[in-house]
Amino acid sequence: MPEKYGRQTPTLSVILPYTQSHGEQAVQLYNRSGRTAIEWQERLIEDIMAVNSDGLWSHMKFGYAVPRRNGKSEIIIMRAVYGITHGERVLFTAHRTATSHSMWEKVIAVLTKSGLTEGEDFKTTKQFGLEHIEMLDGSGAVINFRTRSSKGGLGEGYDLLIIDEAQEYTADQETALKYIVTASENPQTIMCGTPPTAVSAGTVFANYRRSTVMENNGENGWAEWSVQKISAVNDVDLWYEANPSLGYILTERAIRSEIGENELDFNIQRLGYWVEYNQKSAISHKEWTDCQTAEKPAVSRIFFGVKFGKSGNVSLAAAVKMSERIFVEAVDCRPIREGNFWIIPFLLNPHAETVVIDGANGQAVLKNDIEQSGSKIKIVLPRVNEIIEANTLFETNLFGGLICHAEQPSLEQAVANCEHRSIGSGGGFGYTSILDGADVSLLEAVSLAHWACANHKEKKKQRIFY
């Protein structure tokens, strides 16, 4: 059979016109170490390192997104090695310390295998979390490897800023880092990563992509390999479309083993799909009604969410799995002072699997009432990070077409008139209503029920062989 390879050009890109680039020199340095750049990597580094008629970088900022395990970090290695061997001061940053340490090891390997000697041509600091490479030719060229924080980089000046794992790059980190290259005569910032998942904390990468693609100001660049809509996970042709290294360092067999129940996650992490969130950080009426269905779910495991709201009401919602989507429904919303007698019968349903209860003003009492009722339902009292995860996953799946519901005017009003409120310290969100006196607890209960349903793993039946 003929050899087949992934698409070597981006599916979506914004590249400024250019006639000169230092990309070829970067590739030569990289290949001298015994590694071999793949065609797509050569093309992309050419675009990133394009220069204008004044010899300055055409793209002062450049972002690119490639699905996992395609070798996107090799682009950073090429750029960093070129930088340190051409007198640049470089700051490499990552979300995790293990990532920055791994990059330090890779850059050291490329430098040494390309003919440079530690102690003669460069020196390095091996301390975990404070890795450092400095050239000994008197140029002042250096690479520092750091884990990002809201204070990282303050007071230091660099020519090149690299943001790896950019899907986790937060606004407060950007505030601390974006000014460190402004004093350079020829600054450049590079962001690379994958599309944000339901648990990604960063917003900068997605916002940069949106602004560059929609309204480029003339000095930004972008490239991505992706699908533009939720797609079938078994479509092999799309694997090749979204994974440029498929056939080189990635195999069909490896991708096939990644397919699981969460099709949205596969679309994001393997097919490069970007979930588009509402620009006003709220769910519009159209986005909600587009998910409406007349189909009734079959009787199956039922997952409940209970939210004790600050307004004095408590809401109950339910969720069940359908063939490809999760069906959600608001059950009722009543004053907390009425007690929990009306909630318990739903939780005694023989199909009831899990109930997630949020709200310090009632969850302990309801938990005790459930236990006293004799219900065998699993009770979950979520932590703040789990509530953040639940809300993010709810919107991700809603906008991804993986949630459906029947027409319910009360729920529709709560959903179509909500906005985000900050919770936690990592950029997470909850909900509040934009209508005076309106109760958003119905939406919050639905989000909790959906989260329980989406995270449920069916127990595998034990099989005995003789």
Residues 227 and 295 occupy one common structural domain:
no
* Chosen domain end from 244, 269, 294: 269
pLDDT in tens, the chain (466 residues): 458 999 999 999 999 999 999 999 999 999 999 999 999 999 999 999 999 999 999 999 999 999 999 999 999 999 999 999 999 999 999 999 999 999 999 999 999 999 999 999 999 998 888 899 999 999 999 999 999 986 665 568 999 999 999 999 988 899 889 899 999 999 999 999 999 875 677 889 988 998 899 877 679 999 999 999 889 999 999 999 999 999 999 999 999 999 987 787 899 999 999 875 433 436 888 889 899 999 888 878 999 999 999 888 999 999 999 988 999 999 999 999 999 999 999 999 999 999 999 998 899 999 999 999 989 999 999 999 999 999 999 999 998 899 999 988 888 888 888 888 888 876 788 998 876 556 789 999 999 999 999 988 766 555 555 5
Residues 64 and 187 occupy one common structural domain:
yes
In a domain, 279, yes or no: no
Residues 290 and 263 occupy one common structural domain:
no
- 431 lies in which domain range? 285-455
* Chosen domain end from 269, 296, 319: 269
Residues 242 and 320 occupy one common structural domain:
no
Residues 211 and 113 occupy one common structural domain:
yes
Q: Tell me which DSSP letter residue 461 carries.
A: P
In a domain, 107, yes or no: yes
> What Cα–Cα distance (Å) separates residue 140 from each residue in 77, 112, 122, 123, 464?
19, 19, 11, 12, 67
Residues 237 and 366 occupy one common structural domain:
no
Q: Quote the crossing angle between the two packed helices 73-84 and 23-31, to the nearest 10°.
A: 100
Where residue 225 sits, what CATH number does that domain have? Answer: 3.40.50.300
In a domain, 460, yes or no: no
In a domain, 464, yes or no: no
Where residue 349 sits, what CATH number does that domain have? Answer: 3.30.420.240
* Chosen domain end from 269, 301, 326: 269
pTM of the model: 0.65
For the beta sheet containing 89-94, the strands, ordered from the edge strand earlier in sequence to the opposite edge, are 12-14, 220-224, 61-65, 188-193, 160-163, 89-94, 142-147, 132-135, 122-125
- Domains held by the chain: number: 2
Residues 335 and 429 occupy one common structural domain:
yes
Residues 259 and 312 occupy one common structural domain:
no
In a domain, 446, yes or no: yes
User: How many angstroms from the chain centroid is the CA of residue 325?
Assistant: 21
In a domain, 6, yes or no: no
- What is the DSSP annotation of 349-383? STTEEEEEEE-TTTHHHHHHHHHHHT---EEE---
Residues 315 and 389 occupy one common structural domain:
yes
In a domain, 5, yes or no: no
